[in-house]
Amino acid sequence: MKFKVVSRGDKRSNEIEATMKQYLTDFNLEYDREEPDLVISVGGDGTFLEAFHRYIHRLDKTAFIGVHTGHLGFYADWTPDEVEKLIIEIAKTPFQIVEYPLLEVIIRSTTGGSEDRFLALNEAMIKTADGSVVFDVEIKGEHFETFRGDGLCISTPSGSTAYNKALGGGIIHPSIEAIQLTEMASINNRVFRTIGSPLILPKHHTCLLKPTVDRSFLIAIDHFTETYTNVKSIQFRVAEERIRFARFRPFPFWDRVRDSFVGNQKV
């Protein structure tokens, strides 16, 4: 089996990277930065997002696992103390795979047929640098509302604990194939009216945003933001592709939610 370790780049993460590389090669696993079967991210959830995007072209072949060198992560859920145990588990391959849904984003331009397609592990966000965004929101090809406000966040189930949560969105178990739309400060008055609640769309229900005035937007896909001009429409749905996690021990999603946000206190 071929593996690759991606480090956040700080001293601690680099040390763990070096240890894992050394031990796994001692176990006759092959280090391969181009075509790894397993990518081990060492750092935080941000590092994991980077590792995911680096190997996004081979999601059907590569499995991911994360070690956290800071606080407990949602993707990076192994502690540095467990690294030796993890190495032994990896060396014992084959391993179990757990799959989570991803978000597909298609940006179409007013200037010809060009079309950009992205996959997000956490979310996509549509904002503008100044003022508010205005667009028609279509769901399954039908007009749903005209949104005016700071922007919209469309997240995956595993991304529902990230930016989506800060916007008041619900936490969705990643076994549910869905995407969630949350509003960022919508304007609601006699002229503009939006639903106001987060919406959860099942697989095959497409959401389309069509700009009505301004056609320049900031579009963030996970940790990466870019400006787009001449935007005709932005389309969202549950992607056909999925992320594959290598699973060596149970760590249920709700346990991670509790440990990250509630703690373990009992009175």
Binding site for ligand NAP (CB under 6 A): 44-46, 49, 70, 73-74, 122-123, 158-159, 161-163, 166, 222-223
In the bound state with Mn ion, the residue whose beta carbon lies nearer, of 76 and 152, is 76
What separation, in Å, do the N-terminal and C-terminal C-alpha atoms of the chain show?
A: 47
List residues binding Mn ion (CB under 5 A): 44, 46
Cβ atoms 122, 224 nearer than 8 A:
no
37 closest CA partner among 64, 65, 2, 5: 2
Residue closer to ligand NAP by CB (options 36, 73) is 73
Q: Which does 122 bind (CB under 5 to 8 A by kind): ligand NAP, Mn ion, none?
A: ligand NAP
Min dist. Cβ of residue 93 to ligand NAP (A): 27
Please choose which of ligand NAP, Mn ion, none residue 158 contacts, taking the beta carbon within 5 to 8 angstroms, the exact cut-off set by kind: ligand NAP
Please identify which of the residues 26, 37, 45, 259 carries the catalytic annotation. 45
Q: Which lies closer to ligand NAP via its Cβ, residue 76 or residue 207? A: 76
Select the binding partner of residue 223 from ligand NAP, Mn ion, none (C-beta < 5 to 8 A, by kind): ligand NAP
Q: Please, what is the minimum distance in Å from the beta carbon of residue 8 to Mn ion?
A: 8
Residue (75 or 236) nearer to Mn ion, CB: 75
- Distance (Å, whole) CA 146 – CA 202: 21
The interface partner of residue 123, options being Mn ion, ligand NAP, none and the CB cut-off 5 to 8 Å by kind, is: ligand NAP
Complete DSSP assignment for 4-66: EEEE-SSHHHHHHHHHHHHHHHHTTPEE-SSS-SEEEEEE-HHHHHHHHHHTGGGTTT-EEEE
Which of 2, 8, 42 shows the shortest CA–CA distance to 25?
A: 2
Residue found by looking up tokens 């990466």 in the block: 224
Residue 26, Cβ neighbours under 10 Å: how many? 10
| Rg over CA atoms, the chain | 20
**Least spacing, CB of residue 222 vs ligand NAP, in Å:** 5
- Comparison of 138 and 259: residue with beta carbon closer to ligand NAP: 259
The Cα–Cα gap between 75 and 68 comes to 9
Active site residue 45: yes
CA distance 222 to 219: 10
Query: Residue 161 binds which entry of ligand NAP, Mn ion, none, with Cβ cut-offs from 5 to 8 Å by kind?
Result: ligand NAP
Other beta carbons within 10 Å of 126: 25
CB of 117 to Mn ion, least distance (A): 25
From the number of C-beta atoms within 10 Å of its C-beta (0-12, 13-18, 19+), residue 95 rates as middle
Name the residue whose CB lies closest to ligand NAP: 46
Active site residues: 45
